[in-house]
Amino acid sequence: MGGACCSEEANGGQDIQTIDSQDEKLLFDTQAMFEAGQSSLNSSDTKQEGPLGDDVIGDWITERGRYSVMRGVNGELTFNEQCSKTHILSGVLVQAGEWWQTEIKNKLEGDKVYGYLRVKVEGAGLRTSFKKLTPNAAWDKNGFFARRV
C-alpha cells in the first residue's frame, strides 16, 4: 500500500527513506521512526482523551506511503489513501480490541475489495498492519510505524 519507496545512504550512514507521494518528495529517517515505535511499546501514556478514536484521526506517513483517518458526518472513522492514479483506497474503521480495523476498497474500481487494514496507537504514532485478500491470509506481523504529518 502506498507510494514508491527507496532507501538512500545519507547523513553518516543513516537509513533515509524517500517517498514520492502525490507530487511531493518526503524524506525521513526510518531508524528513528522504528526506535520511536519500539520505545513507545512500554509507554503508559496511551490513555484515551476525548471521543473514542480521536487519537487515530489525522494525516499519517509510513515508509510505504501517506494516508489519513477522518471522522465522518455520522461519527465513524474513515481511512483514505490515494496510492496511485488507479487506486484510491478507503474503509470505515471499527474498533476490535486495541486495533481499529477495516475492509479496504478501491473507489476507482467500483469499491472492489482490496484487502484488510488495522491500526492501533503506539506511543506518538500508529502501528499499521495489512492483510491480503486471499484465503487463509494472515495479518502482517510487523506492519509499519506511522508518524503524524
pLDDT in tens, 19-39: 444 444 444 454 444 444 444
The better pLDDT of the pair 111, 16 is held by 111
Residue that the C-alpha cell 482523551 belongs to: 49
Q: How far apart are CA 99 and CA 82, in angstroms?
A: 22
pLDDT in tens, 44-89: 444 545 578 999 999 999 998 999 999 998 999 999 999 899 999 9
How many CA within 13 A on the CB side of residue 117? 26
Q: Cα-atom radius of gyration of the chain, to the nearest Å?
A: 15
Per residue in 3-22, pLDDT (tens digit) is 322 222 333 344 444 444 44
In this prediction, residue 134 carries a pLDDT of: 86
Cα separation of the two ends of the chain: 17
Q: Is 79 exposed, middle or buried (0-12, 13-18, 19+ CB in 10 A)?
A: buried
